[in-house]
A = this chain, B = another copy of it.
């Protein structure tokens, strides 16, 4: 009895529309009205399903971060046991094109990430994602070194530099896609990581 709830679907619709608009128009272009229009919904309805606009943005950011990590998880499951192969697979999952690549997600991630300066709630999500990725990368670097019988010192810095290269690839591909060789990131990142490991 009573009307069945469609909240979950609607929230997903709204996130999808926010993703599309942010990717296309940037954060400033992603007004409530624009998102509503993109979703084919009434602007007021967005505030029925999300208390405020920032909640939509934060939810989207969380979704994007989770999607990338899930993709990495999948790649890792097929990566075998070799620590170095696993490290490279993890990195590859974050930058590779091809199936599962998500240019809109990258653009939105970059656009919303810039709001972290102003919006503590965005900063919190962004930093949590950074922390998680850093921790995983560090563990992968450390595992490689452990397998080689080396000291693990420097794994944190290596993780940070690797994550920087990943984020930078996002940024460049969002801001100046035409200047970049197609698909440069994945193979180059692989060699950079090997460089960090002192491997030619």
User: Interface on A for B, CB 8 Å cutoff?
Assistant: 25-29, 107, 110-111, 113-118, 123, 126-127, 130-131, 134, 156-158, 160-161, 163-172, 174-176, 178-181, 184-185, 187-189, 191-196, 198-200
Residues of B within 8 A of A193 (CB): 192, 195
Residues of B within 8 A of A110 (CB): 114
- Asked if A167 and B161 sit within 8 Å, CB to CB, the answer is no
Closest 3 CB pairs of A and B: A195-B195, A168-B168, A161-B188
CB distance from A78 to the nearest CB of B (A): 25
Residues of B within 8 A of A174 (CB): 116-117
CB distance from A116 to the nearest CB of B (A): 5
- Asked if B184 and A195 sit within 8 Å, CB to CB, the answer is no
Main secondary structure of the interface of A (DSSP, over half): helix
Given contacts A114-B26, A164-B169, A168-B171, contact A181 B157 (CB under 8 A): yes
**In the assembly, how many copies of this chain are there?**
4
- Asked if A192 and B198 sit within 8 Å, CB to CB, the answer is no
A130–B113 Cα gap in the complex (Å)?
20
**Interchain CB contact (< 8 A) of A116 among B115, B160, B169, B175:** B175
A107–B113 Cα gap in the complex (Å)?
12
- Asked if A176 and B107 sit within 8 Å, CB to CB, the answer is no
Residues of B within 8 A of A27 (CB): 28, 114
- Asked if B175 and A113 sit within 8 Å, CB to CB, the answer is yes
- Asked if A181 and B160 sit within 8 Å, CB to CB, the answer is yes
13 contacts between A and B (CB under 8 A): A25-B117, A28-B118, A113-B175, A126-B176, A161-B191, A163-B168, A164-B169, A166-B168, A168-B169, A188-B196, A195-B195, A195-B200, A200-B200
